[in-house]
Amino acid sequence: MSTLVVEELDDRVVVTLRRPEARNAINAAMIGELHEVCASLEERPRLLLLTGGGGTFAAGADIGELRRRGREQALQGINSRLFDRIARLPLPTVAAVDGYALGGGAELAYACDIRLASPSAVFGNPEPGLGILAAAGACWRLRELAGASVAKQVLLAGRRLDADDALRFGLVAEVVPAGDLLKRAHAVLDRMARSGQLALRLTKLVADGGGHPLTDDLAQAILFESDEKAQRMDAFLAGGRS
């Protein structure tokens, strides 16, 4: 791949954005390659760790490409369809954010289930300054993640959230020294990987669906009949660890 470094492990895939000449700005080639990653994870569900190379997560979308897009491209939702696909991946996703996550880069991070940040991380959506809006999820995902007031400060007033802000508002789970960021992200994934995969998958599906007692009951009914449930509970009752 020309814009990504992809490392495939048994239980996870690690994807590093790699466009150093453009501070990892998201262009059409990167979008296509991320769709390939999604297709692989849909066919064989695994955890996903998403990060950026060279001390930057992603400094936005490729402005040169955006300048050439018109109404038809906007209606295609080129970036939003990808980010929605990432958000709907079967198993959890973690974004390890070092440096700038701006514009489309911020929206990519927002689409992940959990975000970790280095002290130099900066989140922002400066799209209105370019005469457009943050149309790939920020207008509603950021509101869900950090609340309406914070979202409007970012989206309307151009506020950028540094790592401390992001932690205080719940946008990121932890702030970790840059040298330990990937190690810590892997530790989070390790903890997830110790859970039952089907239980993890259904929990994400139910949580993302907004919750409903019937949905909870149906998902639990599937899990109650699974071999893994019986094996894990037997191990627990026998004094082992699940």
Based on the residue annotation, tell me whether 36 is a catalytic residue of this protein: no
Q: Which of 127, 144, 174, 225 is catalytic?
A: 127
Q: How many CB atoms are closer than 10 A to CB 175?
A: 19
Q: By C-alpha distance, which of 188, 8, 204 is closest to 96?
A: 188
Residue with tokens 């590093």: 16
The sheet with strand 114-117 has its strands ordered as 4-8, 12-17, 47-52, 93-97, 114-117, 174-175
Q: Are 192 and 186 in contact (CB under 8 A)?
A: no
Residue ranges of alpha helices (H) inside the chain are 28-43, 63-68, 71-76, 78-87, 104-110, 138-146, 148-155, 163-168, 181-193, 197-208, 213-224, 227-237
Q: By C-alpha distance, which of 160, 101, 104, 166 is closest to 132?
A: 104
Q: Which of 33, 107, 144, 225 is catalytic?
A: 107
DSSP state of 10: S
CA dist 21 → 18, 62, 69, 141, 178 (Å): 9, 11, 22, 29, 21
DSSP state of 58: B
Based on the residue annotation, tell me whether 8 is a catalytic residue of this protein: no
What positions carry a catalytic annotation?
107, 127
